[in-house]
Amino acid sequence: MREPSYIIALAGNPNVGKSTVFNALTHLHQHTGNWPGKTVAVARGAFSYRGEDYAVVDLPGTYSLFAESAEEEIARDFLCSGQADVTLVVADATCLERNLNLLLQILEKTHPVVLCVNLLDEAAHKGIALDLTALENALGIPVVGAAARDGEGLDALREALRQAVHAPLPPPPRALLPEDPEAAAALRMERAAELAALAARVPEDAHRWDRRLDRLLTSRRTGLLAMLALLGLVFWLTIAGANVPSQFLSEVLGGLQEPLRALLLRWGLPAEVCAALCDGVYQTVAWVVSVMLPPMAIFFPLFTLLEDAGYLPRVAFNLDRCFQWAGAHGRQSLTMCMGFGCNACGVMGCRIIDSPRERLIAILTNAFVPCNGRLPTLIAVLTIFFAFSSGSSLLTAALLLGAIVAAVGMTLLVSRLLSRTVLKGTPSSFALELPPYRRPRVGQVLVRSVLDRTLFVLARAVMVAAPAGLVIWLTANMTVGGASLLTHLADFLDPLGTLMGLDGMILLAFVLGFPANEIVIPILLMGYLSTGSLTDYQDLGQLRHLLLANGWTWQTALSAVIFTLFHFPCGTTCATIRKETGSFKWTLLAVALPTAVGVAACILLHLLLTPLR
């Protein structure tokens, strides 16, 4: 890209469509999640207009230039640095008053400024009438209306930016403000209210449907129940929809294994090397893809639809008191939800938490919620031992939801323990905006969830699973004293496994599944059947028969469910924790905490249930 002629600073409150404007101008597909604090770093892009190149710096969403968070510091420092040739402020047409308060602060710091009143389509839907000409005259700066999601108003916006850098209007007179910060803030709010009243006529029932939905989704009586119902629906759709494509992928990828072996043999590779590559590396990768891809391709779009519709901030609102009780940050509920898809993504999402102490609590406890990789094991065990006779995916989804609730409860308990011991402190306050409900953009959601999340997470899992497959194959095929190394390791772990209500081979499957949780069951079957390579199963009936033949009971299954919920995070998550914290100490603690909880819970359960056998 050529050196840009001009630099545009893009500023605004959270949830005004600022990142959507950025994407529309630069044609870059930055994630545009509909929750506060989503953008926590400076993003850059560029576009050309009338033969000139413009660089766009997308600043983090902020409510004020009086920095109280990392996001506000980034926005304030860049705006005050003088690096930008023009500042583009994006405002929400449905709630101008709050947005204009930030605009007035920016006008005190920099010039020229262009105001983009976005979301005109939503304002029209709510019956809000806008007079942007009156607003422009009152402010003394260019004001452009837009509906960036539909591409409306972008040409006029580009022209306004070009005019602002070539022939800027004279700077508007600055109001004389009192030296007292509180008095100055009160005057700004009064001026913002006057401007909003001048520019917008808002019907009394403009936000009627939002309020009605919030009475259902955020009230103390029904908010948590509605949240559980929606989460249960997501899990049921994931379970019911993933079976057929998983089986199809397994058959297709499995059918390529022998042709690959034949090809490698024709190239002159030794038979042992071919076996290691085909039965170790390829078979492991094929299993991860066939088991992991379909659930993710369903779960991530559904989760993104809830995000795009504006529901996820309501989750944070409903759970804020719970996390406050735990001594943690309310935004941890959002990072916890991200962990359902991928714990590594959830750990990276903890950047939206300003307090280092509370961010660390969120990182250390994110693995307490099961990620997408653990769901296949949970679903299989719950179905064949607790819902097999009914054959109902709905019952399995209900059982899985119960397990998820237990995981959330444990997350809160461990967060409270950390906040009272090694990470003592008082929970910080934060501003949580409940954005308006919006019709999800299904097409963009599908593309974004598949490209930005599903394929990204899958590629990372495959990179980890490939070398892990080789290690697993070696342990199953290297013999010591007439028995495989896999058998020796299982025998070594058997005393602890027995004490936990499991066995050594189950524990070993979890240990060798450290690179990718999806391969725990295949490793277990490989050990039970002594096949020397990962073993698939045709259906849940066959898996049930194999587990029962190796001594599994409903007590064993219950312990397996508990340890699947609470054990060390996968290799990718551990690497992410190390990167985010910069500390091996905190990474080891993040590994030790869920493992200790899982081991202790399984031992306690086994001791309680032993007299029942």
Contact 113, 141 (CB under 8 A): yes
Dump pLDDT digits (tens) for 256-290. Answer: 988 999 999 999 888 889 988 998 888 888 877 88
Contact 428, 354 (CB under 8 A): yes
Contact 47, 25 (CB under 8 A): yes
Judge whether residue 30 has pLDDT over 60. Answer: no
Contact 278, 262 (CB under 8 A): no
Please enumerate, as own/partner, the contacts of 245-248 that have beta carbons within 8 Å and a separation of 24 or more: 245/293, 245/294, 245/297, 246/290, 246/291, 246/293, 246/294, 246/295
Which of the given ranges, 45-59, 173-187, 243-257, has the highest pLDDT on average? 45-59
Judge whether residue 380 has pLDDT over 90. Answer: no
Judge whether residue 613 has pLDDT over 60. Answer: no
Beta bridge mates, 6? 54
- C-alpha distances (whole Å) from 505 to each of 293, 508, 531 are 26, 5, 14
User: Pick the residue with more confidence: 343 or 299?
Assistant: 343
Residue 90, classed as helix, strand or coil, is strand
Q: At what angle do helices 520-529 and 485-499 cross, to 10 degrees?
A: 110
Phi, psi at residue 3, to the nearest 5°? -60, 125
pLDDT given for residue 2 in this prediction: 62
Burial 203-214 (b: 16+ CB within 10 A, else e): eeebbeebeebb
Alpha-helix residue ranges (DSSP H) falling in 175-310: 181-199, 208-217, 223-255, 257-266, 271-275, 283-308
Cis ω for the linkage preceding 112 (within 30 of 0): yes
pLDDT given for residue 38 in this prediction: 43
* AA identity, residue 272: E
Average pLDDT over residues 149-158: 91
Q: Tell whether the torsion through CA atoms of 95, 98, 104 and 110 is positive or negative.
A: negative
Of 115, 114, 117, which Cα lies nearest the Cα of 129? 117
Burial 600-610 (b: 16+ CB within 10 A, else e): ebbeebbeeee
Q: How far apart are CA 494 and CA 504, in angstroms?
A: 4
Selecting from 1.25.40.10, 1.10.3720.10, 3.40.50.300, 3.30.750.24, what CATH number does the domain 6-206 have?
3.40.50.300
pLDDT given for residue 70 in this prediction: 63
Contact 508, 527 (CB under 8 A): yes
Beta bridge mates, 480? 483
Burial 29-40 (b: 16+ CB within 10 A, else e): ebebbbbbbbbb
* Token pair listed for 211: 């309020």
Contact 271, 316 (CB under 8 A): no
* Confidence tier at 160 by pLDDT (50, 70, 90): very high
Judge whether residue 446 has pLDDT over 80. Answer: no
Average pLDDT over residues 130-158: 92
Q: How far apart are CA 232 and CA 396, in angstroms?
A: 10
* Token pair listed for 247: 């089986």
Phi, psi at residue 485, to the nearest 5°? -60, -30
Q: How far apart are CA 337 and CA 11, in angstroms?
A: 27
pLDDT given for residue 71 in this prediction: 65
Q: At what angle do helices 208-217 and 223-255 cross, to 10 degrees?
A: 80
Strand-pair category, 113-118 with 129-130: unpaired
User: Pick the residue with more confidence: 120 or 338?
Assistant: 120
Q: What share of the chain is helix, strand, coil (3-state, %, to 5)?
A: 65, 10, 30
Strand-pair category, 52-58 with 43-49: antiparallel
* Confidence tier at 9 by pLDDT (50, 70, 90): very high
For the chain, the distance separating the N- and C-terminal CA atoms, rounded to the nearest angstrom, is 71
- C-alpha distances (whole Å) from 53 to each of 7, 106, 151, 162, 512 are 9, 24, 20, 10, 52
Q: What percent of the chain has pLDDT over 90?
A: 29
User: Pick the residue with more confidence: 242 or 122?
Assistant: 122
Of 203, 127, 125, 141, which Cα lies nearest the Cα of 174? 141
* Token pair listed for 562: 């508990």
Phi, psi at residue 207, to the nearest 5°? -110, 25
Of 188, 96, 100, 181, which Cα lies nearest the Cα of 141? 100
135-139, 158-162, 254-258, 593-597: lowest mean pLDDT where?
A: 254-258
- C-alpha distances (whole Å) from 503 to each of 242, 500, 542, 604 are 30, 8, 20, 16
* Token pair listed for 609: 């249930």
Of 606, 516, 500, 496, which Cα lies nearest the Cα of 568? 516
92-106, 149-163, 215-229, 530-544: lowest mean pLDDT where?
A: 530-544
pLDDT given for residue 394 in this prediction: 76
Alpha carbon 33 to chain centroid distance?
10
Of 452, 414, 400, 363, which Cα lies nearest the Cα of 598? 414
pLDDT given for residue 558 in this prediction: 94
Cα angle 274, 535, 273 (rounded to 5 degrees) comes to 10
Q: What percent of the chain has pLDDT over 70?
A: 91
Q: Tell whether the torsion through CA atoms of 263, 269, 275 and 276 is positive or negative.
A: negative
Q: How far apart are CA 546 and CA 92, in angstroms?
A: 59
C-alpha torsion 47→50→53→59, nearest 10: -50
Dump pLDDT digits (tens) for 310-336. Answer: 887 888 888 888 888 888 887 888 888
Phi, psi at residue 91, to the nearest 5°? -125, 155
* Token pair listed for 451: 């490209």
pLDDT given for residue 37 in this prediction: 46
* Confidence tier at 11 by pLDDT (50, 70, 90): very high
Dump pLDDT digits (tens) for 198-238. Answer: 998 988 777 788 888 888 888 888 988 888 888 888 878 87
* Positions of CATH 3.40.50.300 in the chain: 6-206
* AA identity, residue 68: E
395-404, 579-588, 598-607: lowest mean pLDDT where?
A: 395-404
Phi, psi at residue 168, to the nearest 5°? -65, 145
* Confidence tier at 392 by pLDDT (50, 70, 90): low
* Confidence tier at 68 by pLDDT (50, 70, 90): low
